[in-house]
Every structure is written in structure tokens, then in C-alpha cells.
Copies of this chain bind each other. A is one copy, B any other.
Amino acid sequence: MAVYTHVPAEEMAALLVRYGVGGLRSAKGIAEGVENSNYLVEAEHGQRFILTLYEKRVDAGDLPFFLGLLDHLADRGLPVPRALKDRDGVQVQQVCGRPACLIEFLPGVSLSHPTPRQAQATGAMLGRMHAALADFAPERPNVLGLPGWHALAARCGDALDGIAPGLAARIADELAWLDAHWPTDLPHAVIHADLFPDNVLMLGDKVAGIIDFYFACREVRAWDLAVTHSAWAFSTDGATFDAAVGAALIAGYAGSFALSDAERAALPALARGAALRFTLTRAWDWLNTPADALVTRKDPLAFLRRLDLYAAKGLEMFA
């Protein structure tokens, strides 16, 4: 959530020339996306773009996967921001020594307090996205899947107990439970894997954009729905479950894409995996971000609370 690389206006103007969209009228560094530098750029005639510079945490080797995924979805009518091609057909530029793309600007705002209608629209869009990805062949493994959680927990080690007493043991127990119950036999597909409200641009009750595909990977497909459930159907601190939002999300999804009985039955385990994944990655960031840095550290316990609720209530939360 920062601009890591300052791009001189003169360099941005030179870049726009390659796209034949006229001069540079405005450029603002925006605090969006986890790991990239982003600018909201306006060209001479009012056309707007996002200029994204991929910083070191996005592997440049993954870019063809991400850009191909966005093209695939955009070709099928999904509202995703496509990386544009310049006059020579080039999608990935070099800007200030970093791989960079000029990307379509999408209107819409990220919600903080989604309503059931908005959750339903998001679930429906997630289903449409899964339908559109059924024939998307490229591969990207999920480095933040079950084996990755084990590795991350090991790297955090006993420092987890500095976040909350007993957290290391709690996570070890949960990993053992997930090892025993993870539903590997469900359909796998390429998924978004990070569909938080931050990554959905809404206009009223309508989904106007799905953004930030940089965690997209091949994984148990219904896990995407579980991640979205864990992200949308709780208060920010994870203490309160909003059953109406959760039900609307799943109803929206099931209305636009088939959710099998086996997938539905697995949702509690998948959601426990989702809650653990964000507990762990937030814990890692918590332990490795200075308290006085201006980047906000997100509370890992907000997802431990979700995990507790999923573990205690099981299928009841997906009624």
C-alpha cells in the first residue's frame, strides 16, 4: 500500500507516446495493491489508466500468467483490468528499471461494509469467473497452500506466541487437522485466491471490477469461495459473523456456477484453511514489519477469530 518507485512525469509522458493516447494530463501515485507501485494516469483526452510497476515481490516470470489470465477473462466479458498493448503489441514495458504495464482503469469503489445484496453480486461474479476459467490452461502453483502454511508456520516459530500466548500450538494443531481433512479430491482450477472487498470494485450493488490477481493460482476451486466467505462475512476484527452476507455470497455463487454437494460439504474445512492462511501471512507480516512503519500491519488475530468460529460451528455457517 505504497508507491515504492517514483516515476518522473517526463518518463510517464514518454511511455504514453508508445500507446498513442496523447500527452500526459495528470498522474497520481495511488496506495493500492499489496506489492506494486501504482499510478492513476490521465492522458490528454481524458482517458485513464493504471500504470503498475512490478516490484521485487512479484516474480517477473509470473507476469505472462497474470496477463494471460486477465486477457482470458476480459475476452469473456468479465470486468477485469486488461494490460494494454502498445503500438508494437508489447504488453510489458520497462519503467525505471522495473517491468511495468499500462492497465485499463475501472470505476467502482471497494466497500468496507458490504450488504447482502452486494455480497450476492460478488458471489455471482465469482461464479461467472470460475465458469470463464474452466478452459484456462496455464499453470501457477499455490505457494500459499497447505504445504506453504506448514513452511510459513515453521518460519514464524515460537515468535507466534509473542502475538498471542499459545498461538504457535494452536496453529500446529490446526495444521494437523487440515492435513487430515483437506479435500484434495475436489475439482481444481485457476482461482483468484484473494477476493477481499478491497479487490472488488462496486458501483452501488453492481460489481464493476475484479482486481489484484497476483495471488491467482491453481487450487481446489471451492477454496476461492471459502476465502471470499472468510473475507466478506465477518466484522473486520473477525469477532462477529454476518450470516446474511455469508448466505447471500454463497447463494450468488451457486446461482451462477455449479457448487457440488461434495464442495458444499467441504466448505467448513476449506474455510478453516482460508482463515489459517490469512492468520499465518498476517502473523508473518506482523513479526516482520516495524511497529512504527507507515504501512498498517493487519491484525492476525482477526483471522484467528474467524478460524475459531469456523472450527466451532462447521456447516452451520454455510446454511
Give the copy number. Answer: 2
The CA of A26 and the CA of B110, in the complex, are separated in Å by: 9
Check A10/B113 contact, CB under 8 A, given A28-B30, A40-B28, A42-B107.
yes
Tell me, yes or no, whether A9 is within 8 Å of chain B by CB. Answer: yes
Q: Which residue of B lies closest to A111 (CB)?
A: B9
A23-39 interface bits toward B, Cβ cutoff 8 Å, 1 = contact, 0 = none: 11111111110000000
Within A120-140, the residues touching B (CB, 8 Å) are none
Contact A1 B1, CB 8 Å, known A110-B9, A292-B293? no
Give min CB distance, A32 to chain B, whole Å: 6
Could you say which residues of chain B place their CB within 8 Å of the CB of A95? none
Q: Which residues of B contact A111 (CB under 8 A)?
A: 8-10
Q: Which of A237-279 contact B (CB under 8 A)?
A: none
Give min CB distance, A20 to chain B, whole Å: 18
Tier of interface size on chain A: 35 or more
Check A2 for interface membership: any CB of B closer than 8 A.
yes
Contact across chains for B12 and A109 when beta carbons are under 8 A apart: yes
Q: Are A30 and B29 in contact (CB under 8 A)?
A: yes
On chain B, the residues within 8 Å of A296 by CB distance are 6
**A3 and B3 form a contact (CB under 8 A):** no
A293 smallest CB distance to B (angstroms) = 5
Residues on the B chain within 8 Å of A77, using CB: none
**A155-210, CB < 8 A from B:** 201-204
Q: Are A23 and B204 in contact (CB under 8 A)?
A: yes
CA distance A243 to B70 in the complex (A): 49
List the 3 closest A-B pairs by CB distance, nearest first: A8-B112, A9-B109, A29-B31
